[in-house]
Amino acid sequence: MIPQSPLVDSHGRTLRDLRISVTDRCNFRCLYCLPETEAAANFYRDRWREKEQKPIHHDWKPKNEILSFEEIERITTIAASAGIDKIRLTGGEPLLRKDIVTLVRKLSAIEGIKDLAMTTNGFLFPKYAQELKDAGLDRISISLDSFDKANFKRLTGRNGLEEVLQSVQVAKALGFDPVKVNAVVIRDINDHEIEALCQFAIDEEISVRFIEFMPLDSSKAWQKEHVISKKEILDRLQNRFDLTPLTSSNASETAKRWSVNQSKGELGIIAPVSEPFCGHCNRIRLTADGQIRTCLFSLHEHDLKPLLRGNTTDEEILTALHQIVAKKEAGHRIGKADFVQPARTMSCIGG
């Protein structure tokens, strides 16, 4: 397509980043997203006895409501013509999507896309890693919240620690750069492993990102008391490690970053709860069922399926994107009296 005017919201932010969820299904049941295990239930029950517990219900979308690869390719091409140059594939678990390598190949070939990344729980990654690399995937982020097998299962609802650790090694061996490991930190669950995760960054010469616990769980039982803040994480790590702040020319970067002990290891902290970075946000999200979300915590979605599946031209879809982006929220309301948790979980929204 001919280059178009950039996607700029009403707050003056130019959008460059499109996060695409390719499926709402996941093979893990993480406590902070889709808690179904007895351990997860006990955690919530013991700590939030007075809070009404919402029944867990997963409204999986039928196949005919999930965007096809051709539809995803089309919207990505249109968005790229307006300056979107960074794509991240998410889920659910993106590697559950049949023929996902084909989609990676399609997206990597789109003119204007400079960075194509994926976030995965790592369980299936070794099976597809080489094909993904060959198809044009640039970067990989792997979720790893615990090194202890029992705690890993408590957090994820599955036995899969060995497969996830193997994924890190495979990603390094194939030359993905950087290799990132994401860890959601929850008080009384895995906060005792913060230092071990930082040491892992040093030993493996990778980037470990600590993410504050966010209100996106299907049980809707989140409370701020179980958030380990950026300050608390940083204070603890500075007592153990030599941290050197890293600067970035990218104002929209979500993580504050440090090098560790003059090694090639790096740590980052993503603090959407205690230190929101909404003012520099340059992201929109496309859900697996074709909804555009202008914020991770949006209460309203914008359905592109009727446009993609009608007789709408690319130019008309681009006009719709401009109109949607203009409505992007100034920021989320976590911690405010009027905060309302989104109806859909992270698995359905896409990370």
The answer to whether 266 and 178 have CB atoms below 8 angstroms apart is yes
Rounded to whole angstroms, what are the CA distances from 155 to 132, 146, 188, 198, 220? 27, 8, 12, 19, 16
Q: Is 125 helix (H, G, I), strand (E, B) or coil?
A: helix
Is the model more confident about 58 or about 281? 281
pLDDT digits (tens, 9 = 90+) for 264-300: 999 999 998 888 778 789 999 999 999 999 887 777 8
Please list the alpha-helical segments (H only) found in the chain.
Answer: 38-47, 69-81, 100-108, 125-135, 149-156, 161-173, 194-204, 230-240, 305-308, 314-325, 346-349
For residue 115, the surrounding DSSP H or E stretch is strand 115-120
Bigger pLDDT: 41 vs 87: 87
Structure confidence at residue 223 as a pLDDT band (50, 70, 90): confident
Q: How confident is the model at residue 138 (pLDDT cuts 50, 70, 90)?
A: very high
Q: Which amino acid is at 272?
A: P
Half-sphere exposure of 235 (CA within 13 A, CB side): 6
Indicate the helix (H) or strand (E) that contains 212: strand 207-212
| Position 136 confidence tier, pLDDT thresholds 50, 70, 90 | very high
pTM of the complete model: 0.90
Percent of the chain beyond pLDDT 90? 69
Helix (H) or strand (E) holding 251: none
| Domains defined for the chain, CATH in brackets | 17-349 (3.20.20.70)
